[in-house]
Amino acid sequence: MEHKNQIYNLITSKLSDEISESDEKLLTEELLKDGDLVENFTTIQKFWNQFYPNTVSHKIIEKTEKKLELTDRVELRYRFITRCAAAATLLLVVMFSVMGYFFTRQKPEVMLTEYKSKQNEIKEFVLSDGTKVWLNNSSVLITSQPFLDNIREVLLIGEGYFEVAHDVEKPFIIKTPALQTKVLGTHVNVRAYQGNNNVEVSLYEGKVELYDTEKPSSAIAMKPGEKTIFSVKDRSVYIKSIKYEKEAVWRDGIIRFYDDDMYTIAQKLENKFDTRIIIANDEVGKLRYTGNFEKETLDQILKLLSEAQKFSLIKTDNGIIIRKS
C-alpha cells in the first residue's frame, strides 16, 4: 500500500504542477506498465479540472489504507499553511474517499466529515448548521464541521435531498463535478451520480441558482416546482415542471419513474442495483414510463417494463442489454 500511496501522491503533484523531473519520469514509467492506473489518472484529472482548475495543491491523498476501511462517517484533520488545496477525486467513491477543501484564508486546522450511504441504503443526518440531508444509495457527501467563514460548502457524489437551514448571510453551496447549486434556504434534491449523463436538480421550496462549472459566470435561476436537467456531455439545460410527491419518494425506499425515458430509467436502476444496463438502440431508449416500485427486484422491474412496451433482455457477464423485440 505504501507504493500505491506514493503513486497517487505523484499524481497529485502532477495535477498541481508541482512535480519534479525525476518524479514525473517515475510516474510515466508506472503509467506505462499499469493500464488501470492510466484509467484512474484520467478520472482524477477530469474531476480535478472540473472542481478547481486553478488550485495550487496541498497533498490530498493521505492515509489511504485507513480510508479503505471507512464505514459511515470519517473525520480528517488538515493543517493549513497559507492557502489550502481544494480538490476531490472520483476515487472518492471508487477507491479512497479522500479529498481536500480549498479555503482562501489561513486556518490552523479544519475537520472534514464524510457521510456515506451503502448500496440499497438511505442515510439521514443533520449538518452543523441544522440542514437536514438524506443520501440515496451509494452516495457520498463531504463537508467541513463546522462550516467556515461566510459560506456553507458541501461536495456531493450521488443523490441527496436537502432541507437547508435558512441563513441569508451564509449561502449553501452543493458542489458536483459539472454543476454548482447555490441555496439560501430551501428544499432541493440533487442527483449527480458519477457516470450518469445528466445532473438533475429538483426544487420544491425556496430559491436556488445553478452554475455550470465550465461557465461559472452564468446562473440559472429556478422556481419551486421545477426540475433542471443538465447534460454533462453538451452542457445543455432542460427545465420541466414537477410534482413534489412524484419526485422525492426515494427517501421512503420507492423507485418512481414519472414520464422518464428508458435511458434515464436505466441509469436509476444501475445506481440502485449496481448492475450495468446497456440500451442497444434509440428506439428503446426513447420509450417512456411512469410507475412506482418499492420491493421489486431488478428482474421484476424490467419484466414489467418490457410487458408494457415490448423489448427484449439479454443477460451477459458484464450486465444487461436491452433492445427492441
pLDDT in tens, 55-96: 433 333 343 334 334 333 333 333 222 223 333 333 333 333
The per-residue pLDDT for 39 is 62
Structural domains of the chain in order of their starting residue, each with its CATH number: 58-246 (2.60.120.1440), 254-324 (3.55.50.30)
The per-residue pLDDT for 17 is 67
User: Measured at the alpha carbon of residue 242, what is the angle toward residues 241 and 247, in degrees to the nearest 5?
Assistant: 155
The per-residue pLDDT for 82 is 27
89-198-219-86 Cα dihedral, nearest 10 degrees? 0
Residue 235, φ and ψ in degrees, nearest 5: 65, 20
The per-residue pLDDT for 259 is 86
Helices assigned H by DSSP within 34-80: 35-51, 64-67
State how far the Cα of 141 lies from the Cα of 216, in Å rounded to an integer. 22
The per-residue pLDDT for 43 is 58
State pLDDT tens for residues 165-185: 999 889 999 999 889 999 977
Residue 105, φ and ψ in degrees, nearest 5: -105, 155
| Contact criterion met (CB below 8 Å) for 314 and 320 | yes
Q: Which of 73, 216, 176, 40 is nearest to 188 (CA)?
A: 176
Orientation of helix 2-15 relative to helix 35-51, angle to 10°:
40
State how far the Cα of 50 lies from the Cα of 100, in Å rounded to an integer. 14
The per-residue pLDDT for 70 is 35
Q: What is the pTM of this model?
A: 0.64
Indicate left, alpha or beta for 17 from its phi (over 0: left) and psi (-120 to 50: alpha).
Answer: left
State how far the Cα of 24 lies from the Cα of 18, in Å rounded to an integer. 10
State how far the Cα of 226 lies from the Cα of 214, in Å rounded to an integer. 23
The per-residue pLDDT for 258 is 82
The per-residue pLDDT for 244 is 63
The per-residue pLDDT for 83 is 27
pLDDT, tens digit only, all 325 positions of the chain: 456 657 767 876 776 667 888 888 888 888 777 766 766 666 566 555 544 444 433 333 343 334 334 333 333 333 222 223 333 333 333 333 333 333 334 444 556 788 989 888 899 999 999 999 999 988 989 887 778 778 898 989 999 999 999 998 899 999 998 899 999 778 999 999 988 889 999 999 999 999 998 887 789 999 999 999 999 989 999 999 987 656 677 888 888 888 889 999 998 898 888 889 999 999 999 999 988 898 899 999 999 999 988 899 999 988 999 998 8
Burial of 281 (0-12, 13-18, 19+ CB in 10 A): exposed
